[in-house]
Amino acid sequence: MTIMMMRTKNSLILASSSPRRRELLAGLGIPFSIIKPDIDETQYPDEPPLVYVQRLARQKAQAAAAQLESDAAVLAADTVVILAADTLGITPDGVILGKPVDAADARLMLQRLRNKPHIVCTAFTLLHKNSTHHQELSRFVQTIVTMRDYTDAEIDAYIATGDPFDKAGSYAIQHEGFHPVAAIEGSYSNVVGLPIDEVREAFMELGLLESKKSV
């Protein structure tokens, strides 16, 4: 029996403190360290959501790379929940729902999302620098998420768990008690916080992963 093993050729830095991204990246079996980049995440006036999230991913990767003295690959990502700009369909030009500031804000977000579709977009940047060259690859992945018709009582019970407060859009798709999502179109891991299949492909594209056969 032949098993394909993946291993990195370079040290890897995850430029994120998100526990969900840590878990997803660890699932690839790649050793990595963590640097939390310190950048201003304010959205520019009239900056479209997709432009905003891609800019943040690039800036996070660059900020983390600037702290390194040795050769390394840096992976940074940012996720936004985009509420449709109109009632006729989902567009990438809608309103960003970020992390809630308090329980009332979380309740409002979950009520706005209830029984409707929205977009979850994660942008990531993979940056590889060493003494001879600099490579940078950016991608973004969109998933359409339709929420179920949960009740106000269910919203309040979920908020009481404290889970919504570090989540874009005030929810986690994987929460075992709330189960907020009725259906998705696209990548599940993207909604969790990192589109892992696309990240793996990016590693391969930049030559940062190689396959090793073992019997």
Q: Could you report the per-residue pLDDT of 94-150, keeping only the tens digit for each?
A: 889 999 999 999 999 999 999 999 999 999 999 997 767 788 999 999 999 999 999
Residue 193: the pLDDT is 92
**What residue segments make up the domains of the chain, in order of their start?**
3-214
pLDDT averaged over the chain?
88
> Is the confidence at residue 1, as pLDDT, over 70?
no
pTM: 0.87
Backbone angles phi, psi at 51, to 5 degrees: -70, -40
Neighbouring-strand partners of residue 140: 123
Euclidean distance between CA atoms 173 and 208, whole angstroms: 30
Residue 212: the pLDDT is 56
Q: Which of 71, 78, 105, 197 is catalytic?
A: 78
Euclidean distance between CA atoms 100 and 117, whole angstroms: 19
Euclidean distance between CA atoms 91 and 153, whole angstroms: 30
Residue 134: the pLDDT is 80
Residue 5: the pLDDT is 40
> Is the confidence at residue 74, as pLDDT, over 70?
yes
pLDDT-derived band of residue 2, with 50, 70 and 90 as boundaries? very low
Percent residues over pLDDT 90 in the chain: 71
Catalytic status, residue 105: no
Structure tokens at 188: 């599940």
Domain 3-214 is found in CATH 3.20.20.140? no
Among 161-170, 173-182, 206-215, the range scoring the smallest mean pLDDT is 206-215
Euclidean distance between CA atoms 163 and 2, whole angstroms: 41
